[in-house]
Structure 1
Amino acid sequence: MKRMVLLMLVFGGMMNTTMADDWMAQLDDNTYWTQVSIPGTHDSATGEGWTGLGILVGDLTGKTQDLNIAGQLACGVRVFDLRPCVSGSELVINHGVLQTKAKFANTMRQLCQFVSNHPTEFVVVLMRHETDGDSNSDKWAGMIADCLNSEDIQPLLADYKRDLTVGELRGKVLLLSRDSYGSQPVGAFITGWGHQADYVTASIKGVGRNIGTMYVQDYYEVMDQMTAKLNGIEKLLNFSTKNNVEQGVRHWVVCVNHASGYTQSASTDGNRDNAVKCNQKFIDFLSVDTQAGPTGIVMMDFAGVNKSGSYDVKGLDLVNTIINNNQRYSPVKKADHTGISSQERNLKKGLLHYDLLGRPMRSQRRTAVLIDRQKSIKRIGQ
């Protein structure tokens, strides 16, 4: 009997890990990707550790993540903020002047390998040129282009168009760059990114006439302006969660809402203090049933951990909240444009249902996605 219980516990743990790795498997192929609530990480590579000056001061001044890229992927993160710069003959990933141990090409290969191993998933990279750490800015564009066109990366990169669906992105990495590395993007270029408390309107330019709109809230120098930061988060959430109501092509807008920033000073504890308040803001907003709807991309600090240092950052709770928010609304789909639905769904008696992370649902609250564990096991095993 004890052995049976142990096996059940082990199997249950495996299922939770598998569902976290493959939570996008339960999304409808025809759903526009802009309608998905997706957890992302700000300065994603700072969880990889430091080299150079970073060894001395990185953990005190520049750390925004406790988990490395692999750990972030495993807990369900699907959007990564990568900031490559030139160091000698290679591209490294920095946070300002602080160099992490991550190399850009290796990180891109890691993300490509992940979507190859998990073909139901897709990954988005938000890239910018971290000029503060460059040893030779003139080489940056050519080195980026060479990396993206390498034979083990290029086939797994997605082309941007504003009406992309989940099905079209599965098994791919979508690269959206805030800086140009040539006349044509691999994925898309972003222009108009801003750092105001209220969200700004940016443009997404793919190849040809593939042009879209992005709304960005990235107010990071919070200091003593926490009310402005929280209001900025809520303002974009109020837009994004209602953005799946059919109104022309409004549901194609990409929303990028940052929980990240710093109070006190540009320090790791400043990042943590900000995360305590801003991560909780998202969790509280999404706990209200009347505010069900897509968050778009949520960029956060300390994703996947609830405590960082002495701070209760609730980064794991926030990742799980965003992922499972996808169950609380019916997204606009390319096939039907149905918009949000508030209709109650009846759960079959005697049939256990699970959230997108493979955990039993203890309540029978309204949900837009019901997962039968047996069907999930079969699908993952195919």
Structure 2
Amino acid sequence: MSANTPFVLANATPYTWVLTGSESSKPMSAWSFPDLPSGISPPVHIEFQEGSVAGDTAAATYTFGDNSGFQHQFQIQARYLKAGTYAVQAYFQNLETPNHPKGSTIPLVGSFVLAGDGPANFVSSFPPSGWMSTYLDLLTKYTLREICLPGSHDAGMSVLQGGTAGVNRDNVITQDSNILFQLGNGVRYFDIRPVISAGRYLTGHYSQVPVVGAWVGGNGQSMESIVAEVNDFTSREKELIILHLTHTRNTDVGFTSYRPFNKEEWQNFVGTLLSKINYRYISSSSTNPVDLTALTVGEYITHQPAVLVVCDCDPDFLPSGSGLYTNANFPLTDDYADTEDLETMKLDQFTKMRKNRPAYNSPCFLLSWTLTQNPWSAVGAPGGTSIFDLARRANPELVKVLFANITANNMNGPNIILEDFVGEDAVAMAIAVNFFVHGRKT
């Protein structure tokens, strides 16, 4: 981190964190850590004095007691590196989570998140890879309408494998790692956009841009590699994974008229690739259409993992009983802000969330925490803002404002948090929402 970069503390526990110690090897220009009541996530400014040298340190100690009276304690530690930059870590003095024992440290980028109400179910930044199984006792009785999952926008676009004129990494790459790595980091909802390119099923990021009168975009991971990576992960972890296949395009039919997959293309897609996904969830419900969002986590994660595959297509395109479903089975409000402006996006998304999530069991809402390039940036014009830079602007803001827009003990918050370049903050915050809302009702 660099000087004057705000660092965010997010308290999703039911306890007040009390600052019980603050020290530094030299006086600090900015180092003010407050007591933190439950549900608070303030930015804290960390700034070493001019003339600091590598190795200078500062530490803030927090203490809080749980319902048994046990005193938990952790530190936020900063260490000066060089040229106005510093590293931050959490040190678990007398605190532990299932994957971070007492005495361990966690490197932090821009925030520290802690949720839960006791050693068995505390969860922090960098949660367990199999976090849903780890905290299944908490989640098992709640439906998908009542929990929150971290999601990856344009999930397959971590690489660029060809595309139209004007395409480059700045205007098509939306993630910095493949699906397997995202799974390992805790992402559980994947917005995947299949395309046909040179006869192959790949992922793609394409937009119809009026200013050039054509489609502009590029190809990412192959669908074959995504299927293999999902199968790799489910061979080791017992989790629920949602693959939402949307925005299909056949890019072999002319750059001015890319169209969605037809029935033959969907059936070939199913036969050659989707049928090879292991642990596809197959509902036993006689309701038609079955509402998959009304099922509990415990109905999905039983003695094995579950992969829920939802396809944006006509139901007649999919074989019955195949573990492949359509949007009719997964009612979801997904309405992005379509703006480069952060404040406009925040207002837009929280307004839509409050409108569409008025009650505890309202249909699912996807918080699209993404900024959208303007048309000139989207076509690769010089001086445009990259998707990465937009994500770097938006993603840190989530930790600061999310708790202020949801209510503890009442899941009127998001069911999916969707980000470009999704990182550990979004994963930690999604898990923290579940503890913040449900952790006191078990």
Fold shared per TM-score above 0.5: yes
Aligned partners of 2:197, 2:234: CA distance in 1, in Å? 28
1:142 aligns with 2:267: yes
Deviations, residues 46-83 of structure 1 (Å, cap 9, x unaligned) = 11x12224899431221111122122112211111111
- In structure 2, which of residues 148, 154, 178 is the aligned counterpart of residue 37 of structure 1? 148
2:189 corresponds to which letter in structure 1? Answer: V
CA gap 1:319/1:17 in 2 versus in 1, 3 angstroms = closer
Instruction: Tell me the equivalent position of 1:285.
Output: 401
1:213 aligns with 2:331: yes
SS at match of 2:195: strand
1:73 corresponds to which letter in structure 2? Answer: L
1:168 aligns with 2:312: no
CA contact (8 A) 1:158 1:169 kept: no
CA gap 1:217/1:58 in 2 versus in 1, 3 angstroms = same
Note the residue ranges of structure 1 that are not aligned, 5 or more in a row. 1-6, 191-204, 207-211, 245-250, 305-315, 331-366, 371-382
How much does 1:282 deviate?
A: 3.1
SS at match of 2:309: strand
How much does 1:297 deviate?
A: 0.9
CA gap 1:17/1:227 in 2 versus in 1, 3 angstroms = closer
Instruction: Tell me the equivalent position of 2:325.
Output: 188
How much does 1:240 deviate?
A: 6.4
State the superposition RMSD in angstroms. 3.6
Instruction: Tell me the equivalent position of 1:337.
Output: none
SS at match of 2:196: strand
1:320 aligns with 2:431: no
CA contact (8 A) 1:124 1:176 kept: yes
- In structure 2, which of residues 275, 280, 284 is the aligned counterpart of residue 156 of structure 1? 280
- In structure 1, which of residues 106, 113, 127 is the aligned counterpart of residue 245 of structure 2? 127
CA contact (8 A) 1:125 1:174 kept: yes
Instruction: Tell me the equivalent position of 1:253.
Output: 363
Aligned partners of 1:43, 1:325: CA distance in 2, in Å? 23
2:196 corresponds to which letter in structure 1? Answer: V
Identity %: 20
Note the residue ranges of structure 2 that are not aligned, 5 or more in a row. 1-99, 107-122, 207-215, 254-258, 284-289
More helix by share: 1
Aligned partners of 1:261, 1:236: CA distance in 2, in Å? 16
Instruction: Tell me the equivalent position of 1:346.
Output: none
Aligned partners of 1:58, 1:130: CA distance in 2, in Å? 21
More strand by share: 2
Instruction: Tell me the equivalent position of 1:74.
Output: 184
Aligned partners of 1:149, 1:8: CA distance in 2, in Å? 40
CA gap 1:153/1:272 in 2 versus in 1, 3 angstroms = closer
CA gap 1:215/1:241 in 2 versus in 1, 3 angstroms = closer
CA contact (8 A) 1:78 1:124 kept: yes
TM-score, normalization by structure 2: 0.56
Number of matched residues? 287
How much does 1:32 deviate?
A: 0.5
Instruction: Tell me the equivalent position of 1:338.
Output: none
CA contact (8 A) 1:230 1:281 kept: no
Deviations, residues 87-110 of structure 1 (Å, cap 9, x unaligned) = 344311111154445221331232
CA contact (8 A) 1:23 1:76 kept: yes
